Amino acid sequence: MSARRRRIIKEARAIFWPWCAVMVAELLTWFWYRSGFEEAFLWPGTSPSFWIGIPILASLPFGNEFQHRTFPVLLSQPIDRMKVWSEKWVVMSGAVLTVFLVHWFAQGYSLVAGVWVVTTMCSAIFWTLVARSTTGAVILNLLQGLGMMIALNLTRWVFQVQPALAVASTTLVAAALAYALVMLWLGRRKLARFQVTAGIDGDDLLMTGPNVMRGGVAGLLRCRPSGPVLNLARKEVRLLWPVWMITLLCIVGVVCLGGLQFLPGVSGEKLTRVAVIVVSALSGCLATVLAGSLSMGEERTSGTQSWTLTLPISAGLQWFIKLAVAIFASFAGLAIAVTVAQAVFGAPFVDILGEAFGRQRLLFLFSVFTVPSLLTFAAFWCGCAGKGTIRAALWVFPALGAVVLATALGAWLGEKLLRNGSVIDFLVLRFHPFPFSDRTVSPILSLTFGGSKMFWLVPPLLLALIQSRRLFRREPQDGFLSEIRHLLPVAIVAMLCSFLPRIPVAFLYRAAAQVNGTIIETHEAVGKIVDVTKLDAAHPRQLTGEDLAKAAPLSERARRLLINSTITVVPKGGDPLWLQSHKNLSEYFTTVHFGNDWDCTAYGPYFHCKTPTGWWGYPTHP
Amino acid sequence: MRSSSEPVIAITNLSRKFGSKMVLSEVSLSVPRGSVFGLVGENGAGKSTLIKHILGLLRAEAGTVRVFGLDPVSEPVSVLARIGYLSEQPDLPGWMRVDELMRYMRAFYPKWDTAYAEQLREQFGLNPAARIKTLSKGQRTKAGLLAAQAHRPDLLLLDEPSSGLDPIVRRDILEAVIRTVADDGRTVFFSSHLLEEVEQVSNHVAMIHQGKLVLCGPLDEIRERHHGLSLNEIFVCQFTHAGGVSGD
């Protein structure tokens, strides 16, 4: 194998798992859109996995070298720097273009997406070398993307009519491509002239980051000689500076978009939707994921975390402070961004968000802030299980996807049990061969399918919380399998929590199905042995379950259920009002008085039951 | 109140595996109060793993670890409050300035001696306004040493402290620090793979090889048993010519 081929394989291996993560996220988004969500919410071509995944993939080839501190080694090898550049660029282009192809296939052609991909591919290396970290490069790329989006909207506003709009759009695309070429050249030049000037920790954007907070803010967050807990919290707030920067970027973007809506001829609704996308992608997605993964990831990479663990303060408290500050940062960042956007765009902004998060005020607030908090926690968990910010950030969506899939699998197994539960049928017949009253059924159904079903999120969340607390102290192992090993128990618990609540429901369902079948079977058997023309309402025909079983063939199930029961048969007549609207009533009505004091009356294909605690099956079709 | 004759560190039959690899195998040692205890061994012998157990960062899979008579895993705060720790690569927050690091550390240690910290800072020639990330490796080690020493810990735990320092500074700093602390009745436990360095400053030595403790005791006794050979010679004899470990 040639040296060049070996180097390309090494580059491909370094980017393979992140590529898989972005691809899975893109495919999941595709399925999500196919289920109709996109039509109701955002414009075509929108997917956070695409807009954030592409810059991550594009920044990784050089970002990885900074993260693993191998960049000086790379540059000291006897290989022409331009060769290094071209090999990395080829591998990165392959990864990015395959994701773009899936995006194109799933969501159709989009000029904006195409331009975004080309400019990102061409500029990512330059931004990575400037920022000296993947995260910094992603942020700079997003900033560049935001600028492009604003330029596009401005052009559409200025040149509203054809052919001027077409000419302007073409010019804009040409300008973007020219910009991409310039950035490509700058990236090559930057690498050719690159000097390793930093100390052993590198000089990346994240390490220099807290320095950007100057004056009052820095003074407020500067560590004091007392209050160790507050010092830890201050340190965390400062470490999360990219989250604050993204929030600021989001606010700037929203305000710029808000400025455009006052221009004549601009679609306010479309701008509001763009603002929703900007807030969702930057503050709702990127910032929340970074808030969770950043402080753990960076401290793990630099080794500061193991040093912090030797301080005389409990590891549990350190873990709690880290998690609390991360959730606070994601919550505060999102709250600020949503508040500013609402102030700029008014009620329509909340209405569009409401399409995704629920129109009820309380549900809306709960969803808008709970979902990002969960995302932050998921990222924090990934940060504890793995090593490095980007690794943790890329793990978030596959890990969440695995837990969601496990939950769906549990639900599917539960449904199977519900529909074809021979074991459950046996148990019902053996232990409770009678229907359950509404009083019993309602709380169980509510626990499984109603509002209380949220309760079943608690066990996997609790387990993940305990796990993250334990993993916080541990030295993370390199390798993909250890993260899967940690994820497996959470996925199993999620699956069980989805499956187990369906067992009582299956029990109820199968019990009800058996009673339904028995009542109708009894009614039909009665019709075979009783001459309905001779029935008299004043003197109803009385039978016992045993009499009926002797005279007509009954199933084993019906024979068991009819033990100690009496059957009363009356001619049709004096139908209750609710029954008069039903068709196909039989010429006789059969009432079964079961051993458990239930009275069930069949009117042909319809029946209802009167129980000691109320009505049941009113009117239930078998 | 614990007796002053009680060892500062008492490790009994400590074993630890990482996967299938046995990193520590039935290690037992005792570090007397006021001693300068040198732990020597080649790279990968298990020195850092042993130190992590002393710090409570790793739980003993088998055996016991007691520091000041306490279990460092179940009572980490009480133990860590009395330890000053310097790792091989002092992983201090790179974005902090030296003066901020001093303020940050002071909040954790009630016994922090501000005047002593300032004296050490001047002695090490650290600029208070300099960010940690801008310091050279040697200066960063000094900053780590300052953070570890300024609260006058009962036990100074140094994991390969001389790594990255030039020979002269290394000798000066090690001698000054270790003698000062030891004279003060405090205890120093330090690991190194540089045998001359250990021999120079320690009065108790333990030698670890592939996770097993092969020598442990006062340095004078060890040398006497080995006919006055230096540590370096003992090491070479035991692991190179003998082709394995011989009992002492």
Q: Does residue A399 surpass a pLDDT of 70?
A: yes
Residue A223's closest CA among A214, A234, A212?
A234
Q: Does A235 touch chain B (CB under 8 A)?
A: yes
Q: Name the residue among A201, A307, A313 with its Cβ closest to that of B108.
A: A313
* Residues of chain B with C-beta less than 8 angstroms from the C-beta of A201: 94, 133
Residue B245 sits in the same domain as residue B189: yes
CA-nearest residue to A311 within chain B is: B80
Is residue A437 within 8 Å of A522, Cβ to Cβ? Answer: no
Residue A336 sits in the same domain as residue A270: yes
pLDDT at A615: 62
Residue A7: C-alpha distances to residues A2, A10, A60 (Å): 9, 5, 15
Is residue B39 within 8 Å of B189, Cβ to Cβ? Answer: yes
CA–CA min distance A229, chain B (Å)? 9
Examine residue B87 and state whether it is found in any structural domain, yes or no: no
CA–CA min distance A58, chain B (Å)? 27
* Residues of chain B with C-beta less than 8 angstroms from the C-beta of A315: 76
pLDDT at A482: 80
Q: What is the pLDDT of residues A166-184, one digit of tens each?
A: 777 788 888 888 999 999 9
Examine residue B177 and state whether it is found in any structural domain, yes or no: yes
Return the minimum-mean-pLDDT range out of A62-66, A77-81, A233-237.
Answer: A77-81
Residue A156 sits in the same domain as residue A107: yes
B243: number of Cβ within 10 Å: 8
* Residues of chain A with C-beta less than 8 angstroms from the C-beta of B100: 222-223
Examine residue B12 and state whether it is found in any structural domain, yes or no: yes
Provide the number of structural domains found in chain A.
4
Examine residue B31 and state whether it is found in any structural domain, yes or no: yes
Angle at A378 between CA A324 and CA A383, to 5 degrees: 80
* CA–CA gap between residue A76 and residue A555 (Å, rounded): 85
Q: Is A536 exposed, middle or buried (0-12, 13-18, 19+ CB in 10 A)?
A: exposed
Residue A182 sits in the same domain as residue A284: no
* Residues of chain B with C-beta less than 8 angstroms from the C-beta of A302: 91, 93-94
Residue B149 sits in the same domain as residue B161: no
Provide the number of structural domains found in chain B.
2
Residue A235 sits in the same domain as residue A207: no
Q: Does residue A125 surpass a pLDDT of 50?
A: yes
Residue A493 sits in the same domain as residue A378: no
Residue B161 sits in the same domain as residue B49: yes
Examine residue B235 and state whether it is found in any structural domain, yes or no: yes
Q: Name the residue among B83, B87, B133 with its Cβ closest to that of A207.
A: B133
Residue A156 sits in the same domain as residue A304: no
Residue A165 sits in the same domain as residue A253: no
Residue B131 sits in the same domain as residue B14: no
Examine residue A401 and state whether it is found in any structural domain, yes or no: no
Q: Name the residue among B95, B107, B140 with its Cβ closest to that of A226.
A: B107
**Cα A558–chain centre separation:** 47
Residue A415 sits in the same domain as residue A335: no
CA–CA min distance A314, chain B (Å)? 6
Look up residue A355 and give its amino acid: E
Residue A198 sits in the same domain as residue A286: no
Residue A52 sits in the same domain as residue A160: yes
Take residue A293 and report the two structure tokens written for it.
Answer: 């993964």
Interfacial B residues in 153-212 facing A (CB < 8 Å): none
pLDDT bucket at A346, cuts 50 / 70 / 90 = confident
pLDDT at B89: 75
Q: What predicted TM-score, i.e. pTM, was given to this entire model?
A: 0.73
Q: What is the dihedral of CA A34, A40, A44, A50, to 10 degrees?
A: -70
pLDDT at A619: 39
CA–CA min distance B220, chain A (Å)? 33
> So what's the ipTM on this one?
0.79
Residue after which a domain boundary falls, among B134, B153, B172: B153
Q: Does residue A36 surpass a pLDDT of 60?
A: no
Mean pLDDT of chain A: 79
Percent of chain A with pLDDT over 70: 81
CA-nearest residue to B164 within chain A is: A200
Residue A74 sits in the same domain as residue A157: yes
Residue A52 sits in the same domain as residue A185: yes
Between B148 and A225, name the one with better pLDDT.
B148
* CA–CA gap between residue A588 and residue A80 (Å, rounded): 96
CA–CA min distance A228, chain B (Å)? 5
Using the beta-carbon criterion (under 8 Å), do B103 and A473 form an inter-chain contact? no
Q: What is the pLDDT of residues A267-326, one digit of tens each?
A: 777 778 878 878 887 888 888 988 998 888 888 877 788 888 888 888 899 999 999 999
Is residue A22 within 8 Å of A102, Cβ to Cβ? Answer: no
Examine residue A394 and state whether it is found in any structural domain, yes or no: no
Look up residue B79 and give its amino acid: V
Percent of chain A with pLDDT over 90: 12
Residue after which a domain boundary falls, among A485, A505, A525: A505
Residues (pLDDT < 50) of chain B are 1, 242-248
Residue after which a domain boundary falls, among B153, B180, B205: B153
Return the minimum-mean-pLDDT range out of A40-44, A374-378, A612-616.
Answer: A40-44
Q: Name the residue among A199, A223, A302 with its Cβ closest to that of B103.
A: A223
The three-state DSSP-derived secondary structure of A336-376 is HHHHHHHHHHCHHHHHHHHHHHCCCHHHHHHHHHHHHHHHH
Q: Does residue A564 surpass a pLDDT of 60?
A: yes
pLDDT bucket at A94, cuts 50 / 70 / 90 = very high
pLDDT at A464: 94
Three-state secondary-structure class, residue A331: helix
Residue B77 sits in the same domain as residue B200: yes
Q: Does residue A92 surpass a pLDDT of 90?
A: yes
CA–CA min distance A212, chain B (Å)? 11
pLDDT at A325: 94
Residue B148 sits in the same domain as residue B166: no
pLDDT bucket at A357, cuts 50 / 70 / 90 = low
* CA–CA gap between residue A462 and residue A320 (Å, rounded): 14
pLDDT at B10: 93
**Domain of residue B132, residue span:** 92-153
Residue after which a domain boundary falls, among B153, B169, B194: B153
Q: Does B129 touch chain A (CB under 8 A)?
A: no
According to the per-residue pLDDT averaged within each range, which of A458-467, A543-552, B101-110 is highest?
A458-467
Q: Does A316 touch chain B (CB under 8 A)?
A: no
Is residue B158 within 8 Å of B144, Cβ to Cβ? Answer: no
Return the minimum-mean-pLDDT range out of A481-490, A548-557, B82-91, B161-170.
Answer: B161-170
pLDDT at A465: 94
Take residue A500 and report the two structure tokens written for it.
Answer: 């187990």
**Domain of residue A615, residue span:** 514-620
Is residue B31 within 8 Å of B187, Cβ to Cβ? Answer: yes
